[in-house]
Amino acid sequence: MKRRAIVVAVATFALALPAFAQSPRKIDAGKSRIRFAFKQMNVPVEGGFRKFDATVSFDPKKPEATKAEFEVELGSIDLGNSEGETEAKRKPWLHIEAFPKAKFVASSVKAAGPGKFVATGPLSIKGVSQDITAPFSLVDAGGVRTVEGQFPLKRLQFKIGEGPWSDTETVADEVTVRFKFVIPSTK
């Protein structure tokens, strides 16, 4: 009888644990996305990246314990045309030969309301590291966690668009980065 009570107590405890609590999870890159928007000659331009990866350990009840690391293959840029993509990979822009990846590591995550959080940490692009703040929302449903948010990025702080391309009348300095990460449960 005592053994059965222990088994029931352990099973109850295990079921009470959140499906996503603090064990590292890989994002589902096929269902996730990283997009960006900026203005070139005052005309809106949108693009994204086809290849990226992330490992996230996150418990919404303990956001301060979060461990999250994201890498983006800059050569996978998607601007909807090959000419623009070829130019973006060159030295004045992303210089992918020397800097093939961008990386973000969350150094702090704080709650900002029900289902809302703010991640802060260094973003490294093209050998330059700058702290960014990225607000995001979180929804757990059907064994899947979905994280969505956006943050502004100043391209010139990362040396994106050097030389004649540093003219902000031609290409705006501010870039809005939008992300959606789908993280499946291990259940």
CA contacts within 13 A on the Cβ side of 171: 19
Q: Taking the CA atoms of the chain, what radius of gyration do you get in angstroms?
A: 20
Q: What is the pLDDT of residues 6-59, one digit of tens each?
A: 333 333 333 333 434 457 899 999 999 999 999 999 999 999 999 999 999 999
Percent of the chain with pLDDT over 90: 84
Q: Which has more confidence, 127 or 23? A: 127
Domain boundaries, the chain: 22-184
pLDDT score of 22: 55
Residue 143 CA to residue 128 CA, distance in Å, equals: 37
According to CATH, what is the number of the domain 22-184? 2.40.128.110
* Residue predicted with more confidence, 187 or 171: 171
- Ordered alpha helix ranges (H), 24-147: 82-88
What is the predicted pLDDT for the residue at 107?
96
Query: Percentage of the chain surpassing pLDDT 70?
Result: 87
At 23 the pLDDT is 78
State residue 5's pLDDT score.
37
Q: Which H/E stretch holds residue 11?
A: helix 2-16
Evaluate if residue 135 carries a pLDDT over 50.
Answer: yes
Predicted TM-score (pTM) of this structure: 0.84
Which whole-number Å values give the CA distances from 122 to 35, 42, 160, in the listed order? 19, 29, 17
Mean pLDDT across 155-159: 98
Which stretches of 1-123 are DSSP H helices? Answer: 2-16, 82-88
